[in-house]
Structure 1
Amino acid sequence: MPTTSLLVNYGLNFSISNFKIVRLEDLLDSEMVNSITQNHKVNSYILIFITDNNGKHSVDYTDYEYTKGTILAIRKNNIHHFYNNNKVKGYFLIFKDEFLNSYLNQIEVSKTIQMFNELLVSPKTQSIEDEFEEVIFLLKQIEKEFTERSDEYSLKIIRSLLHILITLIHRIKSRGYNKVQLSNYLKEFIKFQGLLETHYSKSKKVNYYANLLGFSTKKLNTIVQYIADKPVKPFIDDLVIVKAKSFLLHTNLSVKEVAFKLGFKDPTNLYKYFRKHTKYTPEAFRKKYKV
């Protein structure tokens, strides 16, 4: 199916509160199950918490196995889909930037974005039992405020609880990976990534983005290498390939039109670029993976 925004399906009045929490088993037992088990994207952030059963969830064409204690963080505009599993139990939490921006300072918002950044850390976090008990306690408090009390104070309380929850997830993640959280480069990296998301069709050259940021190419390479554990050029290529896959699988654009969308003046250059990074031609990739 074409990539569509399913915000309207994910929750009544979501556009008003910019936040929604629902039981995972209810979501997968609802009338929207046929839509959410196909590739789609939302313009918000999603957290999925598994409390019972095993299964898998797809994020940007990669399947992540889950079991009790798994936490999945899905960044806005990621392509993802559920697998139909009527035995899985857990929580599905979705919120927009605006829900946090009105409450947290810029540094805290940056840390939140970092947790959802699949190019930096895996979308999957596996917690141990004691940690997950703390997570579940916070989720139950959030759910109670959202579904039972729901008064003029509820959204403020939920913001505070969500901030604690995200901080706790950062603590859990830090067991295996904490240098990004402590880095002075994080703010500069997020600015670079934002520019890349906006200008990738204009340029795929390192010096273009270094100039936009007022950095030397050496400094930009240092920042990206430290945060993403790879040089700038491979990082740019990774993002362009994700965009190319999205156009191929979720639009009816011809390969020539996709090439122009990505900023390739000659479609043959897209063929070479795509094959180099995926081992597929654009047509072969589309034929194999398009639903």
Structure 2
Amino acid sequence: MEKSIPHIEFDSLKPDNSGIEILTIESIAIRKTEIDHSPEKAHQLAFNMIVFYTAGESRQLVDFVWHEVKRNTIIHLSKGQINAFQFNEGLQGYVILFTEDYLKKQINTLPKNELIRLFNAHLFSPIIQASQDSNVLNYIELFHKEYSNIEEGYNQENTYNALYSIIFSKLERLKQYQTFHLKRSDKLNSFLDFKSHLETHFNTSRNADFYAEKLNITYKHLNSICKDMVSVTAKQFIDAFVILEAKRLLINSEIKSTELAYSLGFEEPTNFVKYFKKHTGFTPNTFKKDYI
């Protein structure tokens, strides 16, 4: 039995790939028995991914949560997130894969809000439902056509970059209708600062007062920010963050739950087991066995 779920690297068959690729969902489904891992079983991404469903109905796993998908559903995932497909009959669409390096090269051409909305896994839902008259698909189809044209090599990378920027802008426009509160930049900036401190210190403290002090604000103010941004208290957000980190570590390494407990800042392994079971309903070992 495997001791961890697959960690999937970006591996394009196209020579001189600049870090971006587009595939069809159908091609992945057909090849699912030929590749080293099953795309229908949980795996961790070492790249970013956008999935656009054009036909059929199914589900897609994102960080241990199954999301219903149908025509015009868009799923976006960041590097490090857990993913799995469910290939029902008649399912069609496109999958755009791009590396962290490619994203960094494009940052200067993308508005800041686009990156926040589309690639902030702890802040927003990974799912967008585009309207029937959305023209995002037109550009994705054009991208796929350009990428599949093996005879056209001259200036092709610039074409990819231009289409990528257009697709991102189109997705950001769709996402902004679900995230009006981003305009309240004072609270958004404070929340992002809070998340940044949490990413650095989550194995030091799970106490909301600790992070309020880091931000030079009161516990009440931090709670207000979290409720406004993500509709939970600061403590609930901290716990959800720690549990997600624990899940990712549990299923992607050979680390024992006792070692994991200490690495997450728990003084006693039994306290971590109780904490994990309280928030998930499973012991760490049971959870790991179920996903592997």
| TM bracket, shorter-chain basis | 0.7 to 0.9
Which residue matches 1:52?
55
Q: Contact (CA 8 Å) 2:79, 2:100: kept in 1 or not?
A: no
Superposed, 1:1-291 pairs within 5 Å as: 1=2, 2-9=4-11, 11-12=12-13, 16-30=17-31, 31-32=34-35, 34-85=37-88, 87-105=90-108, 108-131=111-134, 134-148=135-149, 151=153, 153-175=155-177, 177-184=178-185, 185-287=187-289, 289-291=290-292
TM-score under structure 2 normalisation? 0.85
Amino acid at match of 1:35: S
Structure 1 vs Structure 2 CA RMSD: 2.7
Distance 1:228 1:33 in 2: 37
Q: Structure 1 residues 209 and 146 mapped into 2: Cα distance closer, same or farther (>3 Å)?
A: farther
Amino acid at match of 2:45: V
Amino acid at match of 1:233: K
Distance 2:109 2:54 in 1: 32
Aligned to 2:68, the other structure's residue is in SS state strand
Q: How far has the Cα of 1:168 moved from its partner?
A: 1.9
Aligned to 1:35, the other structure's residue is in SS state coil
Aligned to 2:93, the other structure's residue is in SS state strand
Amino acid at match of 1:43: A
Task: Structure 1: state its 5+ residue gaps.
Answer: none
- Post-superposition CA distance 1:167-222 (Å, at most 9, x none): 222332344x2224323033443343233223321222224334444555444434
Aligned to 1:263, the other structure's residue is in SS state coil
Q: Which is bigger in relative contact order (C-alpha 8 A, separation at least 6)?
A: 2
In proportion to residue count, which structure has more helix?
1
Aligned to 1:201, the other structure's residue is in SS state coil
Distance 1:26 1:219 in 2: 50
Q: Contact (CA 8 Å) 2:42, 2:291: kept in 1 or not?
A: no
Q: How far has the Cα of 1:229 moved from its partner?
A: 1.9
Distance 2:259 2:144 in 1: 45
Count of residue pairs brought into register by the alignment: 286
Q: Contact (CA 8 Å) 2:117, 2:172: kept in 1 or not?
A: no
Q: Contact (CA 8 Å) 1:110, 1:187: kept in 2 or not?
A: no
Q: How far has the Cα of 1:283 moved from its partner?
A: 3.4
Q: How far has the Cα of 1:236 moved from its partner?
A: 0.9
TM-score under structure 1 normalisation? 0.85
Distance 1:45 1:121 in 2: 16
Distance 1:154 1:188 in 2: 41
Q: Structure 1 residues 146 and 18 mapped into 2: Cα distance closer, same or farther (>3 Å)?
A: same
Distance 1:191 1:14 in 2: 40
- Post-superposition CA distance 1:222-241 (Å, at most 9, x none): 43332222222111110111
Deviates more, 1:86-95 or 1:26-35: 26-35
Q: Structure 1 residues 16 and 215 mapped into 2: Cα distance closer, same or farther (>3 Å)?
A: farther
